[in-house]
Structure 1
Amino acid sequence: MSEVRLTFLGGPTGARHLLELSGTRILAGCGLFAGPDALWRRNFSPVPDELHALDAVLLPSADLGHAGFLPQLVAEGWHGPVFATPGTAALLPIALSDAATQFTEDALAAEAGGWAGPGPAVPPFRAEDVSQAVALVRPVEYGTLQELGGVEFEFGRAGGRLGAAWVRIRAGGRSVVFAGPLGAAEHAWLCPPDPRPRSDALVLAAPSPACDGHLAGRFAAAVHRAVNRGGSVLVPAPAVGGEGLLMMVDELMAAGKIPKLPVVLDSPAGLVEQVSDRPSIVVAGLATADSGRVLRHLAEMLPDPRNGVVLLGPSAPGTRAAQLASGTRQLKIRGRYVPVRAEVTALGSTGEFAGPAEVLAWATATPPPETAFVVEGEAAASEAFAKTLHAEAGWCAVVPEDGERVLC
């Protein structure tokens, strides 16, 4: 059997897993880091030498945490094949182009405002980098076996996001499955995950807490509280993947559970310059609240106690969204501290993604791997799920260190 080397390069917020087998190097996930300045600055570091020697990149989804580093990798000279499902391939230009625009606007504002630091402010990537990157993408249908330099791989449905996939890679009698956040089995309009295939190793994203089933009611309550105060509601959301939020808002209004308010979609689909004085629901990216158009809205709305901010889904550690969720009383935005007087409501899971019990059931429905690696989550959540896999299924489950290399 061939020796398989696996290196974890992504930390808690950017999925980058380097697999070396049969003389072939494949990167599963090519994510952008989000969080504290020390982590964010790694998006600007030169691409490591081992990534310049990649034979291919496999993208689990169009989310920035899975695909946002691709434009920089390409800008630094790598031009190999990038494989993704047709859904991810279709969404990728939208997600990356929107992010490039927002990052560029942030860099220009930082330079003009004088808070860029000792050097010039630059975005992680630009629009021209996105064009080069998406030109390399080759769509692959779910369940279609592909061959690359003696290595086979296939995508399976992961659920949770349009086009999202788990991927199995195998060569020389060994196989590894990479599974990012899995979708909930009973979601109203997203397909459930395909069953886990057998593998010698499993790289699995730590699950977020399960949805409590009262998301719509708690969202409606937050809207009513803001409207009763005469304020508006701001919802940080991604450029792609926010379809569920808009559907929920539409359904609540149609059922008379929230007032029929203007919905301001500050995105490529519905860009606006300013919010009206009347109560509104404002949806703007990025979801982490670390960059993009949402910063302007936060700066305007946070100081006013009439307003509300609703955080959907888990917040990546160290991001502004996580700071708001933890109850911070001030937030630094574009060089200035802004007081947080608006009501902040963190709703947790939005129902698209599977909770710990569902992920455990998915993982253990197939014979165990030799080793499971729990990634892409806060340290406490990852450690807790690794302990669950050990205690309830008897698995060898590990939370790898950033940069750790293992044999599997």
Structure 2
Amino acid sequence: MSDAQQGSRPAALSAARRASVRYRTSPWPGRLHVTGHQAALYPDPVLTFLGGAGCARCLLETPASKLLVGCGLFAGPDALWRRNFSPGPDELHALDAVVLPSAGLGHAGFLPQLVAEGWHGPVFATPGTAALLPVVLADAAKQFEEDSARWCPSGPAVPPFRAEDVARAVALVRPVEFGTLRQLDGAALEFGRSGGRLGAAWVRIRAGGRSVVFAGPLGAAGHPLLRPPDPRPRSDVLVLAAPQPPGDSHLPGRFAAAVHRAVRRGGSVVVPAAAAGAELLLTMVRDLTDAQQIPPLPVLLDSPAGLAGIEVHRRALAERWPELRQDGRVGLPDRLIEQVPDRPSIIVAGLATADSGRVLGHLTRMLPDPRNGVVVLGHPEPGTRAAQLADGVRQLKIHGHYVPVRAEVTALGATGEFAGPGEALAWASATPAPETAFVVEGEPVPAHAFAKALRAEAGWCAVVPEDGERVLC
């Protein structure tokens, strides 16, 4: 984008706002849902859900600034995934700052592309997120680049971003400690611990006498490494991620059983997993091996930056970061290898959705062989390849070819890192109710179910927003 083009954007956006004034009455008394581009005319901050409930991109506009909370990639069916390869909407190019709740691709994966399109403002994140962000984004850039060299049905594939875009994006990050008030133009920003992932935070933004809290997936109280979330602060509006079903306390045993079945058949096990998040999986593998619940198998962490993420967690433990449990630990299997062996093994590779990344090469090789096994952790987004495998498909389309699924697929559900609906409801309702709560970042069914629970059990005004919906805060 040229300097002239960048300079013309604010004027173009202002003209668009003047030209398109549309609003509709909210179904909740006393609230107005703005659906046009006239935010500057309203004294209250205006919140826009760019992607609706399915993507972590919330634009908060005040008379003095435009802040984007969450800058994530879309996950889901092909039509939704392809939105990651399109330029960002004009609203994003006029931002004054980006706020990252965590380093995961669902919260930060679009940032390098936004920077590649010419945006270069400040990015605020916790120190933990700032430490993990280069690992996660570099890992994704490498895997996207490898994917782009393969067959694409619509012609030559272009990755959403490259390594040089990641370097420019990371250079914009300004760490903010938990509990520290950061003054911005016309607004104040504060991070609180949300758990689940190192550095993950809820975000409170105060502007114009109003306050909004953004809370991504909350960590479980029994997380083996991280402390529970900080209490929810009071706010006029709460934007809350839809929780997934709670974790299964029998998951390590079920994982061990899946490994034993594959080993008895003479096969290997592949686990789709992200670079940030593999630390608990690898620690579980080591614990199961030490307890002789699984045989001492070679373990391949096929992630360009996976080991770097492990080292960030080890440094956090050594330096006693306050978000960590005192008794938490991260362990690596003793037989960690760098190449695919010719004997039974455990392979951990990303992306966790299996929609991109090195895991696709392992699935292409291993799915046709009934000796092998695939373990799907968590609750993958509907339409992703991981979700298709968990749902029992008999063939999977990878890089233009259908691959038969003869390997045993074991869907283990939630890993226990994140709070279930009961915990999330207790966390939210422990503080006086906001005027409105918006449930985002989840599949439609659990999002609507959680909004219904907030209405029925807490008496809240709770809404699942639509894609592009705008509301007054």
Of stretches 354-363 and 219-228 in structure 1, the one that deviates more from structure 2 is 219-228
Instruction: Map 1:77-92; keep pairs closer than 5 Å.
Output: 77-92=118-133
Partner of 2:174: 138
Alpha-carbon deviation of 1:55? 0.7
Which digits, 9 at most, give the CA deviation of each residue in 1:62-119, with x for residues without a partner?
1001000000111111110000000000100110011001001100122xxxx341x4
- The alignment's TM-score, normalised by the length of structure 2, stands at 0.83
Of stretches 32-41 and 391-400 in structure 1, the one that deviates more from structure 2 is 32-41
Alpha-carbon deviation of 1:14? 2.8
Which digits, 9 at most, give the CA deviation of each residue in 1:45-66, with x for residues without a partner?
2221111111100000110010
Partner of 1:320: 385
Q: Distance in 2 between matches of 1:33 and 1:54?
A: 20
Q: Distance in 1 between matches of 2:350 and 2:248?
A: 25
Q: Distance in 1 between matches of 2:178 and 2:342?
A: 47
Alpha-carbon deviation of 1:272? 7.0
Alpha-carbon deviation of 1:277? 2.2
Q: Distance in 2 between matches of 1:11 and 1:310?
A: 30
> Are the aligned partners of 1:266 and 1:272 in contact in 2 as well (CA < 8 Å)?
no
Residues 1:191 and 1:158: Cα distance change in structure 2 (over 3 Å): same
Q: Name the SS of the counterpart of 2:419 in structure 1.
A: coil
> Are the aligned partners of 1:19 and 1:28 in contact in 2 as well (CA < 8 Å)?
yes
> Are the aligned partners of 2:302 and 2:349 in contact in 1 as well (CA < 8 Å)?
yes
75, 78, 81: which one pairs with 1:40? 81
Residue 129 of structure 1 pairs with residue 194 of structure 2: no
Q: Distance in 2 between matches of 1:36 and 1:125?
A: 20
Instruction: Map 1:355-366; keep pairs closer than 5 Å.
Output: 355-366=420-431
Which digits, 9 at most, give the CA deviation of each residue in 1:215-247, with x for residues without a partner?
111111111111111111100010112111001
Partner of 2:287: 251
> Are the aligned partners of 1:64 and 1:96 in contact in 2 as well (CA < 8 Å)?
yes
Alpha-carbon deviation of 1:40? 1.4
What is the letter of the counterpart of residue 240 of structure 1?
Answer: A
- The alignment's TM-score, normalised by the length of structure 1, stands at 0.96
Runs of 5+ unmatched residues, structure 1 = none
Q: Distance in 2 between matches of 1:78 and 1:128?
A: 14
What is the letter of the counterpart of residue 162 of structure 1?
Answer: L
Partner of 2:319: none
Q: Name the SS of the counterpart of 2:396 in structure 1.
A: strand
Alpha-carbon deviation of 1:374? 0.4
173, 176, 194: which one pairs with 1:158? 194
Partner of 1:237: 273
> Are the aligned partners of 1:265 and 1:283 in contact in 2 as well (CA < 8 Å)?
yes
Alpha-carbon deviation of 1:43? 1.2
Percentage of identical aligned residues:
77
Q: Name the SS of the counterpart of 1:347 in structure 2.
A: strand
Matched residue count: 403
Q: Distance in 2 between matches of 1:209 and 1:254?
A: 29
What is the letter of the counterpart of residue 4 of structure 1?
Answer: P
Greater Rg by CA:
2
What is the letter of the counterpart of residue 395 of structure 2?
Answer: Q
Partner of 2:317: none
369, 392, 396: which one pairs with 2:457? 392
Residue 55 of structure 1 pairs with residue 96 of structure 2: yes
